[in-house]
Amino acid sequence: MIEKFEQIKKLYSFTDTSNIETFLNKNNFLIDILFEAPEHIRKVFGDDINLFLELEDNELFIIIKSKYMSEKAVKLEEKLFDEWFIGIMDKIDGKLNFMEEPYK
């Protein structure tokens, strides 16, 4: 698990390292999904993104920081949901979600 967590740290930025590591140890079924997610996200949003993880209320969020304004971002979120996320919903047990935020 430690090696996989180190690999996740290369794919995503996050500050709550200890709590996210504990969460993933308890919900290790999410690890493979976290490895697959960047490919699906980049297919929809392009390469000009940054990916972050945030833990809120026992749910892990993939935060997609992008250059898109809200209307375009919402359309891309819907596309990502339709093309990828809906297909994994039965595997995530309500423990994973995603959202887009503009670069600040």
Say yes or no to pLDDT of 94 above 80: yes
Say yes or no to pLDDT of 104 above 70: no
Q: Is 61 left (phi over 0), alpha (psi -120 to 50) or beta?
A: beta
* pLDDT tens digits, one per residue of 30-54: 999 999 999 999 999 999 999 999 9
Provide the pLDDT confidence category of residue 1 given band limits of 50, 70 and 90.
low
Determine the Cα–Cα distance for residues 94 and 81; give it in Å rounded to an integer. Answer: 14
Query: Domain coordinates of the chain in residue numbers?
Result: 2-102
Determine the Cα–Cα distance for residues 8 and 53; give it in Å rounded to an integer. Answer: 10
- Are 22 and 59 within 8 A, CB to CB? no
Instruction: Read off the pTM.
Output: 0.93
Q: Is 12 left (phi over 0), alpha (psi -120 to 50) or beta?
A: beta
